[in-house]
Structure formats: structure tokens, C-alpha cells
Amino acid sequence: MADSKESMVCLAVDTSGRFGSVVLGIGNEILGRRDFSGMVRQSSELFTSIQDLLGLIGKKAGQVEHFYLTIGPGSFTGLRISVTLAKMFAFCTNAKLVCISTMEALSANASRFALETNINVSRVGTVLDAKRGQFYVAAFHRNSGGCIRILEDSLVNPEYFLEWIEGGASPIWLLGEGLVFYKKRFESSLVEFIPESYWNPDAYEVYQIGRKKASQGLFTDPVTLTPVYLRGPDAVELKDRSLGR
């Protein structure tokens, strides 16, 4: 008899950025995915994408047992939609929720880039545009076990982040939607840029991270679930201590 954990219907959703995607699987096996047709299509395509994927494997919404989602930082509308949907699944079908930082999902894109190109990527920085000349950033160290945070999500201007980078004295690879219009502001002798095709969070990576967290019992209470917007009270200012001063 198959392990019940390996027969669970699992859904992964990312709506935190300009684009979005949905992945459906059973256990560790991904069975289908949908990428939204264009930018900012979360509200019009999220529900139909989930319905289509469930129909492909002959399942209904009530049979989804795990729901994995990015909770930000990210766009207000996109996050509000996915968090509301996750709560509905939790309260109506008893699905268990796993919440994943957008920054963590992006760091997994860097790992995929390293594997696909055989390029050594040891330090990874993620960048999202928070407007008003500020950016949400985070940093990770990659090893064989995955990505380990070395800088928590922080709301900064590019100069502070570059100062932090240069204090590390080793190269860092940057990715994220914040670079779409502002890549030049992050240029430095210690900075490399991962190709733009990796700059958006991906539900595939959300699924992989979600499965790992679920196996560790790291579920989120739907009652306390709240999104992290690009500019909100959860923003962490990068202080002198973070800069190593």
C-alpha cells in the first residue's frame, strides 16, 4: 500500500509578482502546471487554472490536502487573492497550508540556474521594487543542502545593499523583479546577474519547498495567515548591525 503522504493531492500557487503560476501534484510527483497568460492576470486566471489542473487528474477541490503558497513580499492584489483562496481551502476542505517567502522561492530559482548552467553560485541576493526609491532585498548562501539565509528580508535603498554586499568580499548573484528597471543601480565589481528568465517566482519551486516544509510539519494556521506586502509593517529596515558596522 502506498504511503498516504505520497498519495496526497498538493497544490502550489505563486501570485506574488507580475506573472503567476500554479502547479498540481500527488506527493512528490508534479502532474501539471499552468502559467498565467500575461502580467497581472492573477485575479482572472488563478481559479480557472486550478480547476483545469484538477480536472486533468480527475480530482475536485475538496480532495486537495496540501496548499503551498508564496505570501510575499509582493503585490497587494496578487497576494490578497492567493491568501484568501488558501484560507478557503483550509476552512472548507481542511487542507493544510505551507507559506513560503517570495525571497525563498526566488533563491530556489538561483539553485535551478546553477544546476542548469553548471555555474558556481554560492551567494544569492533577491531584489523586489518597493517603490519610493527603496527595494526589498534578502541574501542567501547556497550549499548542497539548499539555501541558507544570510540577510533577512530588508527594506533598503540600493546603496545600503551594495555596501552590505561589498562588506562580504565575495561575489553575489542577483535576481528578482526589482532589477527589471533598476538593474544598473545594483552594478558592482562583486555583483553578477542571473538571466532575466529566472527573475520571477515559480510555482514549481514553491511546490518543492512546500513539500520539504510539509515533511517537517511546518504548517501555517489559516486564522493567523497574513500576506507580506511590498510596503507594510513587516518591512525590516537594514540597520548598522546588519551592515557589520
One domain, residues 97 and 205: yes
One domain, residues 60 and 115: no
One domain, residues 114 and 163: yes
Query: What is the model's pTM?
Result: 0.88
One domain, residues 95 and 58: yes
For the packed helices 76-93 and 42-56, what is the interaxial angle rounded to 10 degrees?
A: 40
Q: In what order do the strands lie in the sheet with 191-193?
A: 146-156, 134-143, 123-131, 172-175, 191-193
How high is the pLDDT of residue 244?
47
One domain, residues 112 and 49: no
> How many independent structural domains does the chain possess?
2
Q: What is the 3-state secondary structure (H, E, C) of 101-154?
A: CHHHHHHHHHHHHHHHHCCCCCEEEEEEEEECCEEEEEEEEEECCEEEEEEEEE
One domain, residues 8 and 69: yes
Give 129-138 pLDDT, tens digit per residue.
998 899 999 9
Give 25-83 pLDDT, tens digit per residue.
999 999 999 998 766 667 778 999 999 999 999 999 999 999 999 999 988 888 999 99
CATH number, domain containing residue 75? 3.30.420.40
81-106: average pLDDT: 95
Q: 224 in a domain, yes or no?
A: no
pLDDT at position 232 over 60: no
